[in-house]
Amino acid sequence: MANDYNRYNKDKDRNQKKEELKDAAKDTAQDLKNKANEVQQEVKERAEDVREKVAERTSEAREQVQARVDDAKREAGARAEQGFEQNKGQVVSQISSVAHAFRRAGEQLREENQGELAGYAERIADQVERVSSYIEGKGLRGIASDLESLARQRPGLFVGGALVVGLVTARFLRSSSSSRS
C-alpha cells in the first residue's frame, strides 16, 4: 500500500505540475499575444505617422511646384506682353502699310475704270486699317481675351482665321528672309 500511496502522490504531483505547466503556457501565450497586439498597435501608429509625414511632404512639394509654375507663367506672360508692347508699333506700321497698298491699288483700279475691283480693294483696306487700330488700342491680354471669346463662340471661324494668319505669316517671314539674303 505504501507503494500505491507513493504512486498516487507521484501521479498527483505529475498532474499538478502538468496543470502548472499548462497554466504557465497559457499565461506565456497570453503575454505573447498581448505583446504582439502592443507591437501591432505600435507598428500601426508608426505607419500612420509615416503616412502623415509623407502626405505632408508631398503636399508641400506640390505647393512648391505649383508656386514655381505660377511664377514661370507670370514671368512668361510678362515677357510676352513686354515683347508685344515693344514690337506693337512696328506691327501696326506694317499693317498700315498693307492697308495703304490696298488703297493705292483701289485708286489705280478706279483710274482704270475697274470700279467694282476698286471697291473690293478699298473695303479690304478699311478692314486692314481696323485690324491695325484694334492692335494699336489693345494690349496682349485684351487681344488674347478677345481671341478666346471668338474661339468659344465661333470655333470654325477661329480655326480658319488661325490657318490664314499662319499662312500669311509664313509667307511674310519667307519673303522677309529672302529679301535680307
Is the residue at 68 inside a domain?
no
Would you state the pLDDT for residue 18?
Answer: 82
Q: What does the buried/exposed string (b/e) look like for 91-109 if buried means 16 or more CB atoms within 10 Å of the residue's CB?
A: ebeebbebbeebbebbeeb
Is the residue at 43 inside a domain?
no
Which triple of cell numbers denotes residue 151?
474661339
Is the residue at 53 inside a domain?
no
Is the residue at 92 inside a domain?
yes
Look up residue 1 and give its DSSP letter. -
Would you state the pLDDT for residue 21?
Answer: 81
Q: Which domain holds residue 117?
A: 87-154
Is the residue at 52 inside a domain?
no
Q: Is 151 exposed, middle or buried (0-12, 13-18, 19+ CB in 10 A)?
A: middle
**Residue with grid cell 467694282, as numbered in its chain:** 116
Would you state the pLDDT for residue 84?
Answer: 81
Would you state the pLDDT for residue 177?
Answer: 64
pTM for the full predicted model: 0.49
Is the residue at 140 inside a domain?
yes
Counting the structural domains of the chain, the total is 1
Average pLDDT along the chain: 85
Is the residue at 100 inside a domain?
yes
Q: Which residues of the chain have pLDDT under 70?
A: 1-2, 4-5, 172, 176-181
Is the residue at 41 inside a domain?
no
Query: Would you say 60 and 114 are in contact if contact means Cβ atoms under 8 Å apart?
Result: no
Q: Tell me: the pLDDT tens digits for 128-158? A: 899 889 888 887 888 889 989 989 999 998 8
